[in-house]
Amino acid sequence: MVKLLIVDDEEIERRSMELILAKAFPDLAIREAKNGKVAVELARSFKPDLILMDIKMPGMNGLDAVEQIKKDGSTAKFIMVTAYDTFDYAKQAIKLGAKDYILKPSKVSEMITTVGHVIEQINAEKAAHAEQRKQKLHFQKSKRVIETDMVTQLLFDHVHDVHIDMLMDMLDIKSIGQMFVLVVLLPEGLENQYPAIVDRVKQEGNVWVGALYGRQFPVIVFRDEAKTYRSQAGAIIRNSLKAMERNMEQGWFVGIGDVYDSIDDIKKSYHQAVIALMDTARPMKYRFYADVPVGDNQCDRQLDKYRTKAFFDQVRLGEWDKITQKLTMLIQCYEKEAAPLQKAQQRILEMVWMIARILDEMNVQMEWKHIELHSRTYRQFVEEITLFLGRVKAKYIAYYHDLEVDSMQQVKQYIIAHSNEDISLDLLADQVGLSPIYISKMFKEKLGINYIDFLTECRIEKAKALLADPEKSIKEITFDSGYHDPNYFSKVFKRLTGVSPKAYREKILGTQHASH
């Protein structure tokens, strides 16, 4: 609906214009103002799209009213209403940005035509703005999909360097300097707080937020050189998470990894953040990995060696025999050192807790209540842990029993068929009922190519075919290929083909003409 404000000091003029225009344009919402001062006030509250402004009025004249309304930030369009003896004022109004003018007296048909043209412009602009808002919203959703996938790929798999700078452009990351990872653990049953927390975290600066797996999600934080590492992490937690504490009550905790200079090392910070999550009963609701006590004997130092990416990957890939062997050797180490059984049990329970967090992130559903240990000797303890890990292994195998090459082929075919859509790891995982992280790792292992690389290749192949149609614009091909930004699409296309989309089109169309 277009809103129209008629401004004229003569009531009969206002009323006659309203009757004429209401009849010609039934959808108009019309208000009247008897002078320039009232017009300025009404423009603030009514927010008209179009103002018919009489120039010659007592007090504040039409030109002054136009200036004030524009100063107030109004985007209304103006049509000036002027008598023959004030025609020079109409010229000044045009300089102020008025779209047209109407002479008094004027024919009804001329008034309707003039107003009709401006209403058409307003409707066209409104439609364009609505489309832009729609595209912007779609683009923001697309960026969020890219962001969560990017975090998953960086922390759990490998992304080729060729993608990093393009994805940074897409996500408005200006440069990659120092960075670290937070892992947020939510209380049971309050996973629905995740979207609200993400919104707050993203207000705290340069961050990438990962997807929610189980009850936890990672955040890659790019260093703010104006703050210390600890103060930056503390501010994010305090402002973004503590604000939710009233709703979340107890049970949330944040682990914080060390700072690294290279994105290749960001996995280390993630693993450290998970380790820092271990003692969630602490009075502080967060812990830095740097504050995790270092072992003071040989067995504790061996335990520290197990808190590495290699161990994490063994859990993700289900290498339960190796895991059982490692934990058994650790128990035997404590026995040889004559450490109290209770200390060995506590250390092994820490490792079990880490296994629980890793399986949580993979959506492997298990009951991870407090494990009750009944063993009273080291031998019984070994048997108890071996039986427990055997149950975990059985659960894991049951969860992934259908993970075969066929599942990966199914994912591959889905990407080929839907490459022009917004495809995320979560969406792919839903297609085959598996964890997004496992899909990411197994796609590369089973098919020999990174999932992002494969999706990109599919999109560029589709774009190549579309570029053979001279009727399609580059912008249309951008959207039809699954991208939302022509500049980003062009960068990706040139990276993979060596030429821009325009140059590629000219080359293939020239070849086609030559063959004829």
pLDDT tens by residue, 296-338: 677 877 777 777 777 877 887 788 999 999 899 888 888 888 8
Tell me what the mean pLDDT of segment 60-71 comes to: 91
- As a whole number of angstroms, the distance between CA 440 and CA 426 comes to 10
What is the structure's pLDDT at 349? 81
Q: Are strands 3-7 and 50-54 parallel, antiparallel or unpaired?
A: parallel
Residue 88 CA, chain-centre distance (Å), reads 54
Tokens of 59: 């007090």
What is the structure's pLDDT at 160? 43
Residue ranges matching CATH 3.40.50.2300 in the chain:
3-128
- Regarding predicted confidence, which is higher, 206 or 466? 466
- As a whole number of angstroms, the distance between CA 17 and CA 357 comes to 72
User: How do residues 404-442 score in pLDDT, each as one tens digit?
Assistant: 556 777 888 888 888 888 887 778 877 877 767 677 777
pTM of structure: 0.52
- As a whole number of angstroms, the distance between CA 412 and CA 453 comes to 12
Show the DSSP H helices in 226-340 as ranges.
229-236, 245-248, 266-276, 298-306, 309-316, 320-336
Tell me what the mean pLDDT of segment 112-132 comes to: 89
Mention the CATH class of domain 175-291: alpha beta
Tokens of 481: 């290929």
- Regarding predicted confidence, which is higher, 426 or 378? 378
- As a whole number of angstroms, the distance between CA 61 and CA 9 comes to 10
Tokens of 266: 């960001």
- As a whole number of angstroms, the distance between CA 92 and CA 63 comes to 8
Most trustworthy range by pLDDT among 149-153, 234-238, 402-406: 234-238
Cα separations (Å) of 144 from 100, 163, 202, 411?
A: 44, 16, 11, 21
Q: Comparing 170-174, 350-354, 384-388, 460-464, which segment has the lowest mean pLDDT? A: 170-174
Does residue 512 surpass a pLDDT of 60? Answer: no
Tokens of 359: 């399986």
Calculate what percentage of the chain has a pLDDT beyond 70. 83
What is the structure's pLDDT at 14? 92
Distance between start and end Cα atoms, the chain: 53
Does residue 15 surpass a pLDDT of 90? Answer: yes
What is the structure's pLDDT at 113? 92
What is the structure's pLDDT at 291? 86
What is the structure's pLDDT at 165? 59
SS3 state at 436: helix
- As a whole number of angstroms, the distance between CA 377 and CA 331 comes to 11
What is the structure's pLDDT at 162? 42
DSSP per-residue codes, 3-31:
EEEEE-S-HHHHHHHHHHHHHH-TT-EEE
What is the structure's pLDDT at 239? 79
CA angle 487, 488, 494 (to 5 degrees): 90
Residue ranges matching CATH 3.30.70.270 in the chain:
175-291
Tokens of 231: 């103060």
Tokens of 241: 């998470």
- Burial (CB count <10 Å: 0-12, 13-18, 19+), residue 166: middle
Q: Are strands 50-54 and 77-83 parallel, antiparallel or unpaired?
A: parallel
Backbone angles phi, psi at 179, to 5 degrees: -155, 160
What is the structure's pLDDT at 147? 77
Tell me what the mean pLDDT of segment 180-196 comes to: 84
Residue from 375, 354, 256 nearest 309 by CA: 354
- Regarding predicted confidence, which is higher, 53 or 371? 53
Q: What is the mean pLDDT of the chain?
A: 81
Q: So what's the architecture of 3-128 in CATH?
A: 3-Layer(aba) Sandwich (3.40)
Does residue 283 surpass a pLDDT of 70? Answer: no
User: How do residues 383-392 score in pLDDT, each as one tens digit?
Assistant: 988 988 888 8
Name the CA radius of gyration of the chain, rounded. Answer: 33
- As a whole number of angstroms, the distance between CA 200 and CA 180 comes to 18
DSSP per-residue codes, 123-179:
HHHHHHHHHHHHHHHHHHHHHHHHHHHHHHHHHHS---HHHHHHHHHHTT-----SE
Q: How many CB atoms lie within 10 A of CB 236?
A: 24
What is the structure's pLDDT at 138? 66
Q: Could you tell me the pLDDT band of residue 288, with boundaries at 50, 70 and 90?
A: very high
Q: How many secondary structure helices (H) and strands (E) does the chain include?
A: 22, 10
